[in-house]
Structure formats: structure tokens, C-alpha cells
Amino acid sequence: MPASKGAARPQPATTATLGAALGTGVLSALLLGPGLGTNILLVAAVATLGAYAAARRAGRRLRPWTCVWAAGGLALLLVPAVRDAGWPAFLAVVAALTAGSLALHGGRSWHGVFLGAVGLLGSIVTGPVWGIEGLRRRMTASQGRWGPAARSLGVAVLLLVVFGALFSAADAAFADLLGGLVPEVPVEEGPWRFLLFLVGVAGALAAAHVAAAPTHWDRLAVRRGRPRARWEWALPLIVLDLLFAAFNAVQLAVLFGGYDKVLAETGLTHAQYARQGFWQLVLATLLTLGVIALALRWAPRADDRDRLLVRSVLGALCLLTLVVVASALRRMDLYVDAYGLTQLRLTVAAMELWLGLVIVLITAAGVYGAAWLPRTVAASAVAGVLAFGLASPDALVAERNADRYQRTGKLDVEYLQGLSADAVPALDRLAEPLRSCALEGIAEDLKEDAGKPWYATSWGESRAREILAQRPVQPPANCAGLVYPLSGAAHFDGGGPRPVLDQLLP
């Protein structure tokens, strides 16, 4: 694989780009310390302006896919602003960085999309160096204007501080407003805030550097695989198709009437049968994607017969894999009915659902052509992470378990206490004292975070505070008697606790 053609040397950073980088650093230092919320979206928006200015200076045009990736990245940063749960917010931030890197680099091929998604990391060092060079040139060319500008800025800051302090002392309402809008930076947090400033400046300059001179990963010359003989690659896949068909036939037989017979012959309960094969089916889906990729690399396409055989064999494999995906999701649904929904179970089910979507896209590519496939798969991943975060996973977990409690009278209070503030509206529906027991841990976490400013507070957390203010938590002396573990087989199978290895399963 030859080395890629390097990006053209960009022109020195403009004043607009340097100003946006400075603004990003200042906002990072002031806003990102207490946590994530609206603050990360504000920081990203300023950095985006700097990258846009650098791209315009370099003569780059705004393309449709650039808009898709940029809009998707900024939309993903809405997740920390509206949801309190940390795990979907983390996924959203990582996906936002990936989408932002794709917006800057572009990419059409599989390797172009993959390398473009992580290409921003390569400018973490070169970006600040480029920014320092641009700053040096600006200072050399404008030596006579820096002094007046610095004095003007200093006088403005002095006036704001003096008169802001006077007005705050004169009116308590204005003092509260000013205190809510202006971040407080304790002296002991100085080193941490300075580090955030450096990270913000470096990140903004890295993005602007890539926008001015992106690396064209699509120009990497990737050697195609040597086509194999027709039956050399087709025979193993046909055998695999037959195996998939046999497995799916059993699944359909179980689904349409043979379920009780299978349970009687195997001695398994409904929950054990559901749990037994879920992870294996997820792994089978992932391996199938690998098999399809290798087959497309080695399959001959010299004539129409070869192309028809490739489409037929791989198309059948894709359709059969969709049945495997449906079987895995059905097993998870049965398992959730027996043991309840958890964060892990919801996450892996969502991942399996996305893998099924990828199989559908691959099937469509076999009919309509595959030029659009790499970017569409990446866009579906971005959209999936966004939908997953905005759907409020913790709220779904709490709501599903609250509904299950109404049907079965069983609930794992201890597990629900560890959910985020997003779960409060669903748990608020429970009757006392179960409601207070379930909300006790969440209420304690909210008390510890009571001093967070508005820009580090999510909408989900604010809504939870309103609910708990109207109906305060008043747990009984002992909540232990109300615990019915989500993973405890004693309440469903009549046996003892599940083995340790079983407890690691979803």
C-alpha cells in the first residue's frame, strides 16, 4: 500500500482562525470544568467557525456530504445537553469527533471513510505549529496595531469588572443574574483550567489546519485481491448458506409452535433458552460481515455469470443473516421479559439492530451498486448513536422495569438507584415507598451536583430536579426488603443465584 499523497502546505492561519482558536480555548477553560452540557456544544460551535474560515481561505467548497457530517457532529453534541446519563453522552461525543473529522477530510471509499474518521488526530501537533507560525506572521506585519488593541481590550475588561462589581453590590437580582451567567473559577482549579485552555486551542487549530489542507485518504492505492476460481470461493459460501438456512428453519419452527417442545427436550426455561444464544448470534452477525468483505475482495467478476453468482450467493447470505438478527433480538426480548431491561441489554440490542441495518444496506448495494455504501454505513452509525442518545436509554430502562413491576410485582430497586436523572420521570410513577427507595440514589447524586452552573446541567437533570422538588424523596428506614434483582434467577427459575459467569451476560 503506497503512502498517500500529502496535503498541500496551507497558507498561514488568518486572524479569524486564530481568534476562533483563542475563543475556543477561553470557553473550554471557563465552561468545561464542571461537566458536560450545553457547554461542549458552545465550544464546538466556535471551533467550527475557525475551521470554516480556514477552509474558505484555502478555497474549499462546501459539499453536501460535508454538511451532513458537520450537522451530524453538532447534533450529536445535543445529547449531553438534553440527557444526564454519562454512557450515551460519551458515545455521542466520540461519534461527534468522528463525524467532525469526516467533515474536514471527506472520503468516499472504505479506507477513505475509516482513515478520514480518525484523521483529525494526525493534526493535533501540526495544527498548533501552523497556528503559531500564522500568529508570528500576523504580529510581524502588524506591530504598530498590537499595542493599541491590547490597551483597548485591557480598558474594556477593567470597565466591565469595576462597573459589574458596583451593579452587583447595588442590586441582588442583578448579582444573581451575573453570577449565573459568568463562570466562577476557583484559584485551586487554575492548573486544570489552563490545561483545558490548551486543549481547546490545540483542538481548534487542528481542525482548522485539516480544513485548510486535508489529507486525501481516497488517493491511497489499495491493491485489489487476486480473484479466485469460481468454485474456490463460491463452494464455502454455498455451504455456509445451507448452514444458515438449516439454523433459520429451526428458529422458524420454534417461533411457530415448537417452542414448548424445544424447552421440554432441552430442559431449559424460557429465560435460559433466550439467554443461551444471544451473544453467539451477535458474534455470528459480525463474522458474517467479515465473510462478505473477504468474498467481495476475492470473488471474480470477469463476466456476467461471475457477477450473477456473486450477487446470488452473497444476497442469500445477507437475507439469511437478517433472520439471525431477528432471532437474536427475539431472544433478547424474551430475556428482558424474564429478568428486566438493563443498560447493557439495551445497548447490545441496539448494536444488533444497527448490524441488521448494515446487512440491509449491503443487500441494497448488491442491487443498486456500492459506490454510496461506505459513507451511508458511516452516516447510519452517526444517526444510530444520535437516536440512541436522544431516546434516553436510562428512561427506557426505568420505564420498562416500572411496567414490568405492574405485571409481575418484581423490581430491582438497587439497580434502579444507580441510573441517571433521566430515569426520574418513569420512576416517579411508582407507588410509595417503592418510589422513594428507587429514587433515593438518584436524589443523592443530584444533591452532590447542586452547585453545577446552567451550562453544565442537562435538560434531563433540570427536569428531575423539578419533579423531586414537587415530590421529595422520603425513603423508609430499610429498602432492602423491596429488592428483587434483575439478574436473580431465584425469582424465576426456582433455583439459587446465577453463577458468576452467567451474571456477566446481558
Dist. CA 137–CA 139, nearest whole Å = 5
Q: Which residues, including other chains, have CB under 8 Å from residue 95's CB and lie 6 or more apart?
A: 73, 76, 381, 382, 385, 386
Give percent above pLDDT 90 in the chain. 23
In a 3-state reduction of DSSP, which class is residue 185? coil
Segment 204-235, tens digit of pLDDT: 999 999 998 888 887 776 666 566 666 777 78
Quick one: pLDDT at residue 165? 62
Quick one: pLDDT at residue 270? 59
Among residues 128, 109, 107, 127, which one has the least CA distance to residue 117? Answer: 107
Quick one: pLDDT at residue 146? 52
User: If you average pLDDT over each of 39-53, 152-166, 218-232, which comes out highest?
Assistant: 39-53
Specify burial of residue 113 (Cβ count, 10 A radius: 0-12, 13-18, 19+): buried
Segment 318-329, tens digit of pLDDT: 888 888 888 888
Model confidence at 160, pLDDT cuts 50, 70, 90, reads: low
Alpha carbon distances (Å) from 125 to 69, 97, 129, 169? 23, 17, 7, 46
Q: Kindly state the average pLDDT of the residues 490-496.
A: 31
State the SS3 of 342-377: CHHHHHHHHHHHHHHHHHHHHHHHHHHCCCCHHHHH
Q: Kindly state the average pLDDT of the residues 257-268.
A: 57
Quick one: pLDDT at residue 216? 82
Model confidence at 269, pLDDT cuts 50, 70, 90, reads: low
Q: Taking the model in full, what pTM does it have?
A: 0.80
